[in-house]
Structure 1
Amino acid sequence: MSIKTVAIVGCGIGRSHIVEGYLPHSDKFKVAAICDLNEERLAAVGDEFGIERRTTSFEELLADETIDIIDICTPPGVHLEQVVAALGAGKHVVCEKPLTGSLAGVDRIMEAEKAAKGVLMPIFQYRYGDGIQKAKRIIDAGIAGKPYTASVETFWLRKPEYYAVPWRGKWATELGGVLVTHALHLHDMLMHLMGPAARVFGRVATRVNDIEVEDCASASLLMENGAFVSLSCTLGSQEQISRLRLHFENVTFESTHEPYTPGKDPWKIIAANDDVRQKIDRVVGDWQPVAPRFTTQMGQFHAFLSGNGPLPVTTADARRALELVTAIYQSSDSGAEVPLPVGPDSPKYADWRARTK
């Protein structure tokens, strides 16, 4: 098994990638370098994990042929250019969410991928954990039956001190608000379990903080499979929870309410009757624990790079999540329902800030 060398760019959330993603797989990955413009943070993370190579130069890492993977954990406003540059340099790339700030940007990345030696894996770590993975196995086995409805709630709390970080709360640097930076994970989880949306009606507003981007949102979705879904998001909840509740013909699923690890057990898995319960027990009876968040996603990424499995999260997955964001913004501006897919004819395709006519 070959050990892949990693350079982490951005030592904020990048530290979590080290702790949860790379250290548990020390036989698969070696964090060989870290990069950050904040030299104090660079030194602190380097000292904490014994990483000797520290730099403030992203370009230096691109030119280093000993680096296999560039892991981008920088503020969202620079993701697009850094991903394209890293792919152009022949690297495999990991990139935090949001991948970029428009569907045009995602499509530019997808074009860059076609000519690249390496692959891009966007981060959607909330897909991993025993709860969501059991639900996924039951649904994929056909036991859940016809999907009826679902609700997804992202009820978090962000106060002015959170937005004291200069790049947060601004269109140019954070790229969006609660839909892009906070609820994107849960909305990806929904589509991971229930498939893509077909039609979207949404509203967004800035009600909690003095910022440019939205901090409250709601949406009504018609899914391709016919199910109805409601989404609710706020950054003004005095009790922080993340909750998915999905109703199928034979099973109701409800996630844990813990805000930052909703994929973990315990999930409620409520069977319609004893026969369904027995089928569920047979499907998950041999269950092997699935580590939450980055631990499993990075492990599966290495398996893919070694030819032993699929890429766990793809650019198409990231595009699907950002297409939903685009549709909600467009619907909120126009007051009309938006059909999917969203393409270049959308006023929001190239810029979420563009007004819908």
Structure 2
Amino acid sequence: MSVKTVAIIGCGIGRLHMIEGYLPHPDKFRVQAICDLNEERLNEFGNEFGIASRTTSFEDVLTDETIDIIDICTPPGIHLEQVIAALAAGKHVICEKPLTGSLAGVDKIIEAEKRARGVLMPIFQYRYGDGIEKAKRIIEAGIAGKPYVGSVETFWLRKPEYYSVPWRGKWATELGGVLVTHALHLHDMLLHLLGPVSKVFGRVATRVNDIEVEDCASASLLMQNGAFVSLACTLGSQEQISRLRLHFENVTFESSHEPYTPGKDPWKIIAANEAVQSQIDEVIGNWQPVSPRFTTQMAHFHAHLNGAAPLPVTTKDARRALELVTAIYQSADTGREISLPIGPESPKYADWRANTR
């Protein structure tokens, strides 16, 4: 098993990648270089984790032939250009969410991937943990049966000091608000468990903070499998919770309410009867614990790079989540239900900010 060398670009969320994603896997990864425009933060990070190679130049990392993986943890507004540059440099790439700020941008990345030697893995770390992975196994085994309805709640709190960071709260640099930066995690979990969306009606508003982007949103979804799902999210909740509740013919699932680790147990898995419970016990009775978040996603990525597993999160997964964002924005603008899939014919395809009224 080969150890892959990593350069982390951005020492903010990059610190969590280090602690949860790389330090637990010394046999799989070695963080060899770090890059950040803030030299004080760069040196604090380097000193804490003993990383000698430090630079403020992204170009230096691109041309470093000793680096296998570039892990992009920078503000969202520059993800697109950095991902394309890293792929063109022949690197494997990891990129924090949101991958980019439009479906046109995602499709541009997909085209760049076709020409690249390396592979790209977007980050959706909430997919990993005992709770969500048990639910996924039960659904895929056919035990849950027909999906009926569901609800997804992202009730977080962000106060003015959060937006004192210059790039936050602005369309040009954060690319969106609660839908793009916060609820995207939970919405990806929904799509991961329940599949693609067919129709969307949504509303967005800025009610909590004095910012450009939305901090409250709600949506009604019709899934391709016929299920109805309601989404609600705000950055003004005095108690922070993340919650999925999905009702199937034979099973009801309810996630942990922890805001930043909803994939972990305890999940409620409520069987319709003893016969269904016996089937569930057979499928997950000998469950082996799964580490949550970045720890498992990075392990799966390493397995993929060694030809032992599929890519855990793909650009198409990221596109599906951002397509939902696009549909909610378009519906909120027009007051109409939006049908998916969304392509270049949509007025929001190239830019979410395009006025579609």
Work out whether the TM-score is over 0.5.
Answer: yes
SS of residue in 2 equivalent to 1:24: coil
Q: What is the 5 A alignment of 1:123-134?
A: 123-134=123-134
Q: What is the 5 A alignment of 1:156-195?
A: 156-195=156-195
Residue 279 of structure 2 corresponds to residue 295 of structure 1: no
Under a length normalisation based on structure 2, what TM-score does the superposition of the two structures give? 1.00
Structure 2 partner of 1:234:
234
Residue 143 of structure 2 corresponds to residue 143 of structure 1: yes
Q: What is the 5 A alignment of 1:234-313?
A: 234-313=234-313
Amino acid at match of 1:164: S
Structure 2 partner of 1:349:
349
SS of residue in 2 equivalent to 1:79: helix
CA distance in 1, matches of 2:23, 2:307: 22
CA distance in 2, matches of 1:299, 1:308: 11
Structure 2 partner of 1:82:
82
SS of residue in 1 equivalent to 2:189: helix
Which whole-Å deviations, capped at 9, do the CAs of 1:15-37 have from their partners, x for residues lacking one? 00000000101100000000000
SS of residue in 2 equivalent to 1:65: coil
CA distance in 2, matches of 1:342, 1:283: 37
CA distance in 2, matches of 1:16, 1:158: 19
CA distance in 1, matches of 2:246, 2:109: 33
- Percentage of matched positions with identical amino acids: 82
CA distance in 2, matches of 1:288, 1:44: 37
Residue 106 of structure 2 corresponds to residue 106 of structure 1: yes
- Gaps of at least 5 residues in structure 1 are none
Residue 27 of structure 2 corresponds to residue 22 of structure 1: no
Amino acid at match of 1:84: I
Q: How far 1:344 moved relative to its partner?
A: 0.5
Instruction: Give the superposed CA RMSD.
Output: 0.4
CA distance in 1, matches of 2:260, 2:95: 18
CA distance in 2, matches of 1:124, 1:344: 25
Residue 45 of structure 2 corresponds to residue 45 of structure 1: yes
SS of residue in 1 equivalent to 2:168: coil
Residue 98 of structure 2 corresponds to residue 67 of structure 1: no
Which whole-Å deviations, capped at 9, do the CAs of 1:220-271 have from their partners, x for residues lacking one? 0000000000000000000000000000000000001000000000000000
Which whole-Å deviations, capped at 9, do the CAs of 1:21-63 have from their partners, x for residues lacking one? 0010110000000000000100011000000100000000000
CA distance in 2, matches of 1:13, 1:150: 30
Runs of 4+ in 1 over 6 A off after TM superposition: none
SS of residue in 2 equivalent to 1:219: strand
Residue 205 of structure 2 corresponds to residue 224 of structure 1: no
Q: How far 1:286 moved relative to its partner?
A: 1.5
CA distance in 1, matches of 2:277, 2:269: 9
Q: How far 1:289 moved relative to its partner?
A: 0.7
CA distance in 1, matches of 2:182, 2:336: 24
Under a length normalisation based on structure 1, what TM-score does the superposition of the two structures give? 1.00
